[in-house]
Amino acid sequence: MKKYKISILSLVVFMLGATGCNQDRLDVEPVNEFLSANFYQTEDQVFSALVAAYDPLGWTMAYGNWISSVMFGEIRSDNANAGGDPSDNDQPGWQEFDDFRNTNTNTVTHPIYRRNYIGIFRANLVISNAQISTPLVERFQAEAKFLRAYYHFELFKHFGPIPVVTETLTPDDVDRSRNTMSEVFEAIVSDLNDAIAVLPATISANEVGRANKGAAHALLGKAYLYWADMDKDDPAKFALAAEHLQAVVDLGIYSLEDDIEALYDIGVKNPAESVFELQQSNLYPSNWGWFEGIDGNGMVQLCGVRGLCEDHPTYQAGWGFMLPTQDLYDHYLPDDTYRRDAAIITVDELAQEIQEAGVVSCPVVVDETQGNPVDNTGYWQEKYSNYKSYLGNNVNGGDPNLTKDADIYAIRYADVLLMLAEALHRSGGSDAQAMEYIDIVRERAAGPGDNTGNFRTAQQLMSDMGWTLQDVIWYERRAELAMEGDRWFDLVRSGRANVALFAGDPIRESNFTENDLWLPIALEELSVAPNLTEYPDASLFQ
């Protein structure tokens, strides 16, 4: 059987072109009611296309591989080890990411690339193909521009400057070359400014998960923050980041959850702290036969405690990935244990829960021989806990491992406040105001209730620890957002991802090179797109 290689860019062209049969040559009725030539003519049809553009956001598995920006951002960094079974080769693609051994044949790299370009392709269809113009369709197209910006930003974070695709491609267009960093961010900025002008500030209860004005401002602020950091610490771009992040605050519709641990309780979805959230569902009977149709959050099972006693009162055993490192555990200051406990659980805490529940059938709380001995630290992530209550989720016959519906916080309000503090400080704005925003996050970190006077302020940390304000910001981002996927990307954008970061870890320290700041574009793409380069060179960062 002859094998054909096809790039994702040529694939989307094929998907579009395949709908245009010549009726003179093939005079039959179409199997489907609608083709590209007669679709996009009503608001309902355009909305259906928009739903398809949102769909890749929820993929935690694609093309036979687990894909997760959260897992990548933690496992690639000093926050987590890959984990898995005792072989140290469970999910080899993720083991390679962990150890900086990945090449352009890594099994996870191409699915990450494809997922985002499929999202871009679907967003472009909504933007370019609508044959009706109404206020509602204009809103749908604004959401599609938000999504196109989101997917381009995700691609940049993983691969560096990548091809920008803002039109429906023809077969002659698929051999794209990388755009420069400025061209990528200019496209993102343009799309988000267009979206902000149209999107509503608030959305109704039956629209949760869709982009609104706050989400677009937050994403644009985050994009400017990255761009400024990587463009020689450009104060003007930091000021633009601050402007858009301040706009999120000024909307007055977001607030921090009083108890940070409650953000990750089972069933909590779209709280007031959520600025943009990736929706996961248990309603579709997800199974192993169609990976892109899995609507649950596969990360819950994948990153649960491996070897956990089956009679634990709260949690069920998982597969032991994304194991927090000792370095992350030690990062938290002695007066910041409440926030650490929201991110990391230990065997002692698991044992205490068993004891408090009166369970006597767990002589071994965690059988750590079932886990990866190289990566095991005795710590497990807790933000995507594998609750026993999920066992009832497979109501429609789906695989119970795939129907756990914990949503993923793409941008939380706490992240907005910390980014705003950073943007103010690095743009030459008000440090006093920056510290006020940091202190809002730090007050909540001390635990539920009013902690006024019961936590160290940013100013006190600077005095006590001998830190600069930027040191405080770096501390806060790592402590607040641990196990949520920001760590690696923060390190890369700020120039802190280097071999010194992995001192004491002989595998990572010996394998890390400058190329490892970015993922290589997969061999499948390079073989059909000669103008693509495997890694971005320095000339593209302009």
Of 33-47, 108-122, 342-356, least confident by mean pLDDT is 33-47
Residue 408's Cα: distance from chain center in Å?
Answer: 8
List pLDDT tens digits, range 141-154: 999 999 999 999 99
Q: pLDDT at position 35, please?
A: 63
Residue 495 pLDDT > 80, yes or no? yes
Find where tokens 């044959």 sit: 131
Burial of 163 (0-12, 13-18, 19+ CB in 10 A): buried
Whether the Cβ atoms of residue 538 and residue 21 lie closer than 8 Å to each other: no
- Label each residue of 372-415 as H, E or C: CCCCCCCEEECCCCCEHHHHHHCCCCCCCCCCCCCCEEEEEHHH
Name the CA radius of gyration of the chain, rounded: 23
Whether the Cβ atoms of residue 9 and residue 163 lie closer than 8 Å to each other: yes
Annotate 333-364 with DSSP letters as a single string: -TT-HHHHHHHEEEHHHHHHHHHHTT--S-SS
List pLDDT tens digits, range 249-296: 999 999 999 999 999 999 999 999 999 999 999 988 888 888 898 999
Claim: this prediction has a pTM higher than 0.95? no
Residue 17 pLDDT level (bands cut at 50, 70, 90): very low
Q: How far apart are CA 508 and CA 501, in angstroms?
A: 9
Q: Which two tokens stand for residue 486?
A: 């920001």
Q: pLDDT at position 174, please?
A: 78
Residue 263 exposure: Cα atoms within 13 Å on the Cβ side: 31
Residue 443 pLDDT > 60, yes or no? yes
Q: How far apart are CA 271 and CA 22, in angstroms?
A: 51
Q: pLDDT at position 30, please?
A: 46
Burial of 302 (0-12, 13-18, 19+ CB in 10 A): buried
Find, among 99, 121, 132, the residue nearest to 9 by Cα: 121
List pLDDT tens digits, range 288-313: 888 898 999 999 999 999 999 999 99
| Dihedral angle over CA of 100, 105, 107, 111, nearest 10 | 110
Q: pLDDT at position 438, please?
A: 98
Residue 452 pLDDT level (bands cut at 50, 70, 90): very high
List pLDDT tens digits, range 88-115: 899 999 999 999 999 999 999 999 999 9
